[in-house]
Structure 1
């Protein structure tokens, strides 16, 4: 019942212990890692500043009718009648809708209301600026004939 174990001699035991010591020596972090530049760069890259931290906006702790914080709303620029008329004349959507009407195509309710509103506004601006639309007046009225010209025809 004796087991045959091969006993190691002193020299083999010393070699194994040296190997284990070498393996243990290379475990862990390298010495002086605290002051190496590589380690510090990694930390600064990982830390991204949160823009929400350190905000200087006043925040009311109690709900009131008069708010301290004012929301920036875009201000509408007041156009002069000339500028507004130029803007309406250069409106591509309006031009497209007028082309459709000239071609005899039907418009949707939204397109028709847009067209009517813009044309009404153009009429208001032209009256306000004193412009007269003589082009349409000539087409609607029949030319007046003199009695003399009627007699010459017959």
Structure 2
């Protein structure tokens, strides 16, 4: 059984046919404007929601962007490899010789050799390479470290001859 409600019903007025028709037209007009705008697929309608985002989007494709050759060509040339640039600028032979003569590492290793010390294979090959380069540069410049030794030997011989002859 139904229980009676305690509050009396308020009498509502019935709508006329014109009012019902007008409400139906309004509802139809509202429904018509739902959804995406016409042509949104072609015009990129997805960007309308991201109006705050500017700049280019990241390319969603995964993989290498390196172009791939499609088909066989008559001549395939490998890409050129650039030679590594030397860090030191080209020096004149005189400047390079001077630099090698004032090299602290070379001096220290030569002193160790003179004192009777031994060098490992890497150090020995480095010293040999530097001494060979010094010899090449001296030959290019027309210098010879033998000249100084010969002059000293000649002076020593002259002194010995004076002593042997008994002269002052």
Which bin holds the TM-score, normalised by the shorter protein? 0.3 to 0.5
Q: Which structure has the larger Rg?
A: 2
TM-score calculated relative to the size of structure 1: 0.48
When the two structures are superposed, what TM-score results if normalisation uses the length of structure 2?
0.45
